């Protein structure tokens, strides 16, 4: 495995760490004997970039009619498409050619997409297919869900009322528990990866997205190496301390991220303060989060205690499972009237 070096302080890490434990800087990979030169992947051709970014109105792999682009990011382009054979609307995530040209990243994606295909739960968006077109575009096919991202709901509506927020958290916990029982962790849980789906005549449903970038918890050494040398996973504002340090993760890391998501849902702010993502990462390694009731005095003490526990720096001090966290969130509280009893009935 290649070493990784902090560009700010020069510290070298050899255990697959992503960020410097001293100052939170993202580490750069250096190859043994390279004199500290970062390894760079050859850039993809302009034609490949144009093809991946401009699929709207085209036929993909002779089986999907691409209708329109839904969004794009540093890792992929997302399209709405129709499967020709069935007429079903699907969402297709096309891997950026910048990553598709990296063999180790593609190997990791194939492995982890295969894991995500095992997921089958109403609060998880499953992956239907991993494909590769004749012109070597690598893509994931998922059900097309009509709804609103939790991040958009927060921007438009501000801090959530207690009952709505807890119901969303309860459903996310149910989806995470299903994944964790299959030894799969998400690694990048955040409001942008939670969809609030509204279906005709049905209550709103929270669905955890992007398990295609998940990682099997009990990975063998070969898979661990692929992950360490492949795509950088995780969003700095929501990473657990152990993920920042590049340690082995389990489901409790997802619960930590969900605690930060919950704090932001109820307050509109992050529990760790800093002028940038790096400072907030350092705060998670060295400091204590704001308490929920500092910003929302109307929130019951039981909810504040649950969030404080799930965001403990030491994973051993957190809830052991997502269902335990959900149970703590729905524990009866005199200050909350009958809200918790109703939510607990749904949980059981």
**How do the residues of the chain divide into helix, strand and coil, expressed in percent and rounded to 5?**
40, 20, 40
Neighbours of 33 (CB within 10 A): 6
Q: What are phi and psi of 173, to 5 degrees?
A: -60, -40
256's tokens: 């930590």
Neighbours of 119 (CB within 10 A): 20
Cα separations (Å) of 156 from 42, 153, 209, 210, 268? Answer: 41, 5, 20, 23, 11
CA dihedral (19, 22, 28, 33) in degrees, to 10, reads -130
Among residues 15, 23, 120, 188, the one annotated as catalytic is 188
Cα separations (Å) of 254 from 9, 33, 315? Answer: 29, 37, 11
Among candidates 308, 303, 142, 114, which has minimal Cα distance to 226? 114
CA–CA distance, 203 with 207 (Å, rounded to integer): 13
252's tokens: 């409790």
Side by side, the strands of the sheet bearing 129-132 are 59-60, 64-72, 76-83, 89-95, 138-143, 129-132
Query: Does the active-site annotation cover 15?
Result: no
Burial class for 338, CB neighbours closer than 10 Å (0-12, 13-18, 19+): exposed
316's tokens: 């051993």
Residue where the block lists tokens 């039981």 = 302
19's tokens: 């960020």
What is the H or E stretch that residue 142 is in? strand 138-143
Burial class for 250, CB neighbours closer than 10 Å (0-12, 13-18, 19+): middle
Q: Which residue numbers are catalytic?
A: 188
């Amino acid at each position: 495995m290649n070493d990784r070096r902090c560009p700010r302080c020069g510290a070298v890490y050899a255990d697959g760490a992503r960020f410097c434990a001293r100052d939170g800087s993202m580490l750069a990979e250096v190859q043994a004997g390279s004199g500290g030169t970062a390894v760079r992947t050859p850039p993809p051709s302009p034609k490949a970039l144009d093809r991946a970014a401009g699929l709207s109105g085209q036929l993909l792999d002779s089986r999907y009619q691409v209708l329109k682009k839904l969004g794009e990011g540093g890792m992929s382009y997302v399209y709405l498409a129709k499967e020709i054979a069935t007429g079903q609307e699907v969402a297709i995530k096309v891997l950026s050619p910048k990553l598709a040209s990296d063999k180790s990243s593609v190997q990791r994606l194939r492995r982890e997409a295969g894991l995500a295909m095992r997921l089958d739960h109403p609060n998880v968006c499953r992956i239907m297919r991993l494909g590769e077109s004749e012109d070597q575009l690598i893509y994931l096919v998922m059900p097309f869900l009509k709804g609103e991202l939790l991040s958009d709901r927060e921007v438009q509506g501000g801090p959530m009322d207690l009952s709505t927020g807890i119901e969303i958290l309860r459903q996310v916990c149910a989806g995470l528990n299903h994944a964790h029982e299959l030894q799969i962790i998400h690694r990048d849980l955040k409001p942008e990866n939670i969809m609030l789906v509204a279906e005709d005549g049905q209550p709103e449903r929270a669905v955890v997205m992007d398990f295609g970038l998940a990682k099997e918890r009990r990975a063998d050494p070969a898979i661990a190496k692929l992950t360490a040398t492949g795509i950088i996973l995780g969003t700095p504002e929501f990473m657990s301390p152990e993920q920042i340090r590049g340690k082995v993760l389990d489901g409790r890391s997802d619960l930590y991220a969900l605690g930060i998501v919950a704090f932001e849902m109820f307050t509109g702010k992050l529990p760790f303060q800093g002028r940038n993502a790096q400072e907030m990462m350092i705060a998670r390694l060295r400091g204590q989060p704001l308490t929920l009731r500092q910003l929302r005095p109307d929130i019951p003490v039981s909810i504040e205690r649950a969030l404080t526990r799930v965001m403990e720096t030491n994973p051993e001090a957190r809830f052991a499972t997502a269902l335990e966290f959900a149970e703590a969130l729905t524990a009866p509280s005199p200050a909350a009237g009958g809200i918790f009893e109703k939510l607990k009935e749904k949980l059981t």
